[in-house]
Amino acid sequence: MLSKKQTDILHWPYTGRTALICDGAVRSGKTSIMSLSFILWAMGNFNNCNFGLSGKTVGSAERNIIQPLLSITYLRQNFNMVYSRSTHQLIVSRGKKQNRFYVFGGKDESSYMLIQGITLAGVLLDEVALMPRSFVEQALARCSVSNAKFWFNCNPDVPEHWFNKEWILHAADKDATHLHFTMEDNPSLSKETIDRYKSLYTGVFYQRYILGLWVAGDGVIYDMFSRDVNVYTDEQRPQGLPYLAVRHISCDYGTANPQVYLDIYDDGERVWVDREYRWDSRKERRQKTDSEYADELQTFMGADPQFLCPVIVDPSAASFILELQRRGVYVTQGDNNVPDGIRRVAQLFSRRVLMIHDTCEGLIGELGSYVWDDKAAKMGVEKPVKTMDHGPDALRYYVNTALPKWRYGEENVI
């Protein structure tokens, strides 16, 4: 069963328009039906042609487009589909007709080389707002076969984002159809599931991922963080915490900037940030060496073999990572995806499952002054102001790297 908007996607090729843009809420049924319609259009109108299927990375395109396509019974019954993981090509044929679909990743270097030399009859760009503009322009420029069409979908970003300004706000000038999706446009979601997704987001995240609006964050990023409910005292600390929880230490590295370690416990239900180490070399007027920092990390961790744990480190701190590894410390490089990390930390705070001990004063202070960069937003880029972000960075690395997706309600989201 399809919703009205999804049917519009299937009928869209007959409108004669050049481009289709579907934007809006998460899980709203954009990617799945767009991919299906794209294949049916390509197979119905072309033979021996090349097409582009692109995600943010090749991996995400395989996950979000290729795998779901290969599992659609209707396609399997009517077409012969073969995907090669080594060449990243999907070959779809029916009788004597055959077309080739190349999988690209907007953020993958190798995709740039590949797309430059190819002639396409159409391209589907999944999550287009996450791709570099140069890649998108290159992909469109390769569509030189007559009657080629451009298929775009994305979740919203800041209003000044180039894709919003040039494509969505000027859809008519570009001969494009714009369809806006909400979760109600996905008939497979029950009311309970929609309500659960709605409860995961607040503020700017709610406006973007639930309402599907292009809005900029304003002021404090974690405005859902509250001293009353996200901060705990010794008395409120669960008994036996270190024994019944998985421990990590997360580290933001700084030579001129502060060095921060957070001692974090996950009891399976809530995450407890229990202690903080901080050395601000500017304030103290003395820089420490990697070796001194490593000594202090080992002291911070303690020597009890029962409580030794993985250390998540700022991925850019190559020399410090080496120093820790040399000492036999188990190091995991932090995942530094900023928008994902911020969205996830925000979800954990608003669900009251991320708790901070009241002695972590540096982190608590920085959470209050961690703000969106409104100048960057005006240039179409969403990011935090890069000062006093050391504790929040360490927290982000932890959430992105150590927690499974279901903990922040995202098992299927992106």
Footprint of ligand ATP on this chain (CB under 6 A)? 1-2, 6, 26-33, 68, 155, 181, 186-188, 413-414
Element (H, E) at 127: none
Give the one entry of ligand ATP, Mg ion, none that residue 99 binds, where binding means its C-beta sits below a cut-off of 5 to 8 angstroms depending on kind: none
Closest contact distance (angstroms) between CB of 36 and ligand ATP is: 9
* Residue 153: strand pairing partners: 22, 126
Closest contact distance (angstroms) between CB of 151 and ligand ATP is: 12
**Binding to Mg ion (CB under 5 A): which residues in 199-258?**
none
Closest contact distance (angstroms) between CB of 185 and Mg ion is: 12
Q: Which is nearer to ligand ATP, 147 or 188 (CB)?
A: 188
Q: Which is nearer to Mg ion, 31 or 50 (CB)?
A: 31
Closest contact distance (angstroms) between CB of 186 and ligand ATP is: 5
Q: Segment near Mg ion (CB under 5 A), from 24-32, 78-86, 178-186, 208-216? A: 24-32
Q: Give the span between the Cα atoms of 257 and 389, in whole angstroms.
A: 10
Tokens of 392: 């929040």
411 alpha-carbon distance from chain centroid:
12
Give the one entry of ligand ATP, Mg ion, none that residue 172 binds, where binding means its C-beta sits below a cut-off of 5 to 8 angstroms depending on kind: none
Closest CA to 40 of 115, 111, 124: 124
Closest contact distance (angstroms) between CB of 222 and ligand ATP is: 23
Closest contact distance (angstroms) between CB of 379 and ligand ATP is: 24
Give the one entry of ligand ATP, Mg ion, none that residue 59 binds, where binding means its C-beta sits below a cut-off of 5 to 8 angstroms depending on kind: none
Closest CA to 64 of 113, 103, 112, 110: 103
Q: Which is nearer to ligand ATP, 68 or 365 (CB)?
A: 68
Tokens of 316: 């850019």
Q: Which is nearer to Mg ion, 31 or 350 (CB)?
A: 31
How far are the Cα atoms of 106, 111, 131, 164, 193 from residue 135, in angstroms, in the given order? 6, 9, 7, 16, 35
Q: Which residue is nearest to Mg ion (CB)?
A: 31
**Dihedrals phi, psi of 27, to nearest 5 degrees:** 55, 25
Closest contact distance (angstroms) between CB of 161 and ligand ATP is: 16
Q: Give the span between the Cα atoms of 407 and 412, in whole angstroms.
A: 12
Spell out the residues 6+ positions from residue 12 whose beta carbon is closer than 8 angstroms to its own.
20, 37, 177
Per-residue contact flags (x/-) with Mg ion for residues 107 to 146, judged by CB under 5 A = ----------------------------------------
AA letter at 228 = D
Q: Give the span between the Cα atoms of 205 and 347, in whole angstroms.
A: 9
AA letter at 383 = K
Spell out the residues 6+ positions from residue 6 whose beta carbon is closer than 8 angstroms to its own.
29, 33, 185, 186, 187
Give the one entry of ligand ATP, Mg ion, none that residue 155 binds, where binding means its C-beta sits below a cut-off of 5 to 8 angstroms depending on kind: ligand ATP
Give the one entry of ligand ATP, Mg ion, none that residue 26 binds, where binding means its C-beta sits below a cut-off of 5 to 8 angstroms depending on kind: ligand ATP
414 alpha-carbon distance from chain centroid:
7
Closest contact distance (angstroms) between CB of 183 and Mg ion is: 12
Give the one entry of ligand ATP, Mg ion, none that residue 145 binds, where binding means its C-beta sits below a cut-off of 5 to 8 angstroms depending on kind: none
Q: Which is nearer to ligand ATP, 72 or 246 (CB)?
A: 72
- Which of 6, 28, 31, 35: binder of Mg ion (CB under 5 A)? 31
Q: Which is nearer to ligand ATP, 9 or 395 (CB)?
A: 9
Sign of CA dihedral 168, 169, 171, 173: negative
Q: Segment near Mg ion (CB under 5 A), from 27-35, 169-177, 331-339, 370-378? A: 27-35
How does DSSP assign 254-295, residue by residue? -SSSPEEEEEEEE-SS-EEEEEEEEE-HHHHT----HHHHHH
Closest contact distance (angstroms) between CB of 50 and Mg ion is: 23
Closest CA to 156 of 223, 225, 205: 205
Give the one entry of Mg ion, ligand ATP, none that residue 28 binds, where binding means its C-beta sits below a cut-off of 5 to 8 angstroms depending on kind: ligand ATP
How far are the Cα atoms of 23, 129, 237, 246 from residue 374, in angstroms, in the given order? 23, 19, 37, 37
Closest contact distance (angstroms) between CB of 231 and ligand ATP is: 32
Q: Which is nearer to Mg ion, 31 or 400 (CB)?
A: 31
Binding site for Mg ion (CB under 5 A): 31
